[in-house]
Amino acid sequence: MGDLVNLRRARKAKARVAAEHTASENRASFGTPKATRDLTKARSEKARRDLEGGRLESDKPLKN
């Protein structure tokens, strides 16, 4: 036979894991200093601009 499981404890344990996951995401997004967030945003924008600037063909169709 299988093991007995207390459903109340299992439900509470699952809720604790979900809450910890949410807290971890919040710590990552809200716990960083503003200067670090701005630097990360600026770097990703520069990388996107550099990538777009290196394209040989544009996505826009040519007008004839």
Q: What pLDDT tens digit does each residue of the chain (64 aa) get?
A: 688 889 999 999 999 999 999 999 999 888 889 999 899 999 999 999 999 888 877 666 666 6
Asked if the structure places residue 62 within a domain, the reply is no
Asked if the structure places residue 32 within a domain, the reply is yes
CA distance 7 to 9: 5
**H and E: helices and strands count for the chain:** 2, 0
Residue 11 token pair:
């439900």
pTM: 0.47
Per-residue model confidence (pLDDT) at position 30 = 87
Asked if the structure places residue 19 within a domain, the reply is yes
The total of structural domains in the chain comes to 1
Tell me the CA end-to-end span of the chain in Å, nearest whole number: 77
Domain span at residue 32? 8-52
Asked if the structure places residue 57 within a domain, the reply is no
Per-residue model confidence (pLDDT) at position 53 = 87
The dihedral formed by the CA atoms of 8, 11, 14 and 20, expressed in degrees to the nearest 10: -80
